[in-house]
Amino acid sequence: MMAEVTRNLLIYPTLVINDGVSLTVRKIDPLGPDQVEITAWALAPREESANLLARRIDSFLTFYGPGGFATPDDIEALEACQVGCSAGEPAYSDISRGMQRDQPPPHVDEAQMRAFWRQWDADVRGLGPRKQTEARGPANWRRYMEPEYARAIAAQAGSTR
């Protein structure tokens, strides 16, 4: 049954388990405001057959690996965002994917990213652990997003006046 589910599991704040095309553990070490080191391990059962191991390695390197078809572009996105954010202009970062769904989101949605940033925000404010819940559906999405968005726009407008 486990093999029929894919997921990205975040163990706040610096550990991620990618249970997708290959089972991967990622450790995140922030080294500075503009540098982060990520160490990835690809896990496999010790007794796995040669055929399955070869397929597992292939799945990892083509997708999660640093020479694969996805990870270099993810790194590019992170670096490009860092360049953009360092301009100091953006007041808002949109990670709303999946907030409009009534059903629990699939693993490609961004619930885990929102959970991370809400807790991170609470931590840097010294508020301590917060229970992470998220009401779903279009109505809740609007209720949640619009005041935040309006505040962000207002703050941005104020800062440029």
Partner 1 sequence: MTRAQPDTSPDAASPQAAHSARAEVEDLLYLEAALLDEWRLAEWVALFTEDARYVVPTTDKRDGDPRVDLVYVDDDIVRLRARATRLASRHAYRESPHSQTRRLITNVRVAARPDGDLDATAAFAIYRFRRGSMDTFVGRYVYQLARIDGHLRIRYRRTELDLDSLEQRGAISIVL
Cα 39 from chain centroid?
A: 16
CB 24 within 8 A of CB 43: yes
* Residue 55 or 118 having the CB closest to partner 1: 55
Q: How many CB atoms lie within 10 A of CB 128?
A: 8
Which of residues 40 and 152 has its CB atom nearest to partner 1 in the complex?
A: 40
Task: Determine the Cα–Cα distance for residues 71 and 12; give it in Å rounded to an integer.
Answer: 21
Stretch that binds partner 1, among 69-77, 91-99, 110-118, 153-161 (CB under 8 A): 69-77
Residues 7-46 that bind partner 1 (CB under 8 A): 37-38, 42
Size of the site for partner 1 (CB under 8 A): 23
Which of 8, 69, 5, 83 is closest to 16 using CA atoms? 8
**48 binding partner 1? (CB under 8 A):** no
Nearest alpha-carbon partner for 42 in 58, 24, 61: 24
**CB 150, min distance to partner 1, A:** 31
Which residues contribute to the site for partner 1 (CB under 8 A)?
37-38, 42, 50, 53-54, 57-58, 60-62, 65-67, 69, 71-73, 75-77, 80, 83
